């Protein structure tokens, strides 16, 4: 348990990280592939290549940690991989379209969350895309019950469902800010238990995802910038 002083430091770090995330995101469209490559590093990129060699794309599940946009830009503009991201639809529509244009400028195909998202994501995975899913917030409120840092909450089961439909691996991923660089850590694929019935499958895989997210966040908790409540009944985001 963090002391009040330690918690104050972490909260300040989280807001600083969030500010850097936006500043970097706005600049990515203007950076050349050479500059993006110089300021980005990645562990276990081979896991994405292996998934594509087996005939599918890969499903990257990420917490709101550090600067994930760097990974999307590097994949799209340096590695020349097709990238699709499912994102929350913002209001007003003009704001959403502005963000869509920004992300598409550095190689990301944007799919807004909603009823039509899953078929689009299934097609993207089957076409060999790297699909990025920020998965530590249950925006729709219909997710899977998990234990997260010792407290019950819910997380979206979409990644598990997408893997079930496509056979693609789920790769837990985090992108950390490191001085003037961004460093991406790709974890080995979750065990997708293909023999389980669908409900049990989605629950089991999503609980695994939550456990790995704990490890990724624990590595640098000051970079976790979820500013909305995560646990039911709590006004505390992180």
For residue range 84-101, list pLDDT tens digits in order: 999 888 778 888 898 889
Residue 235 inside a domain? The answer is no
Residue 213 in contact with residue 136, Cβ under 8 Å?
yes
Residue 231 inside a domain? The answer is no
| Residue 1 confidence (pLDDT) | 67
Confidence of residue 234 (pLDDT cuts 50, 70, 90): low
Cβ count within 10 A of residue 176: 18
Residue 230 inside a domain? The answer is no
- Joined together, the tokens standing for residue 91 give 């209001």
- Joined together, the tokens standing for residue 191 give 């065990």
Residue 229 inside a domain? The answer is no
Average pLDDT, the chain: 93
- Joined together, the tokens standing for residue 70 give 């760097």
Beta bridge partners of 66: 175
pLDDT exceeds 90 at position 39:
yes
| Residue 192 confidence (pLDDT) | 82
Confidence of residue 17 (pLDDT cuts 50, 70, 90): very high
| DSSP three-state, residue 201 | helix
| pTM to 2 decimal places | 0.93
Residue 16 inside a domain? The answer is yes
Number of domains in the chain: 1
Q: What is the DSSP string of 108-163?
A: EEEEESSTTHHHHHHHHHHTT-EEEEE-S--TTS--EEEEETTEEEEE--HHHHHH
Residue 68 inside a domain? The answer is yes
C-alpha angle 145-146-151 in degrees, rounded to nearest 5 = 115
Residue 114 inside a domain? The answer is yes
Domain that holds residue 186: 4-223
Residue 238 inside a domain? The answer is no
State how far the Cα of 235 lies from the Cα of 225, in Å rounded to an integer.
Answer: 15
pLDDT exceeds 50 at position 238:
no
Determine what percent of the chain is predicted with pLDDT higher than 90: 78
């Amino acid at each position: 348990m963090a002391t009040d002083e330690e918690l104050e430091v972490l909260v300040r770090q989280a807001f600083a990280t969030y500010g850097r995330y936006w500043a970097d995101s706005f600049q990515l469209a203007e950076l050349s592939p050479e500059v993006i490559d110089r300021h980005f590093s990645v562990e276990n990129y081979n896991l994405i290549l292996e998934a594509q060699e087996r005939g599918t794309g890969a499903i990257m599940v990420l917490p709101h940690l550090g600067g994930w946009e760097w990974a999307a830009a590097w994949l799209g503009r340096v590695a020349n991989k097709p990238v699709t991201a499912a994102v929350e639809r913002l209001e007003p529509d003009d704001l959403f379209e502005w963000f869509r244009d920004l992300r598409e400028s550095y190689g990301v195909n944007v799919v807004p969350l909603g009823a039509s998202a899953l078929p689009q994501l299934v097609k993207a995975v089957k076409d060999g895309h790297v699909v990025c899913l920020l998965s530590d917030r249950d925006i729709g409120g219909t997710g899977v019950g998990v234990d997260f840092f010792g407290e019950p909450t819910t997380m979206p089961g979409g990644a598990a469902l997408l893997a079930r439909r496509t056979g693609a691996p789920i790769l837990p991923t985090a992108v950390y800010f490191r001085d003037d660089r961004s460093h991406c850590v790709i974890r080995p694929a979750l065990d997708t238990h293909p023999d389980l019935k669908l409900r049990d499958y989605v629950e089991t895989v999503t609980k695994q995802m939550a456990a790995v997210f704990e490890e990724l966040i624990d590595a640098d908790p000051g970079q976790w910038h979820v500013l909305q409540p995560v646990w039911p009944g709590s006004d505390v985001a992180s």
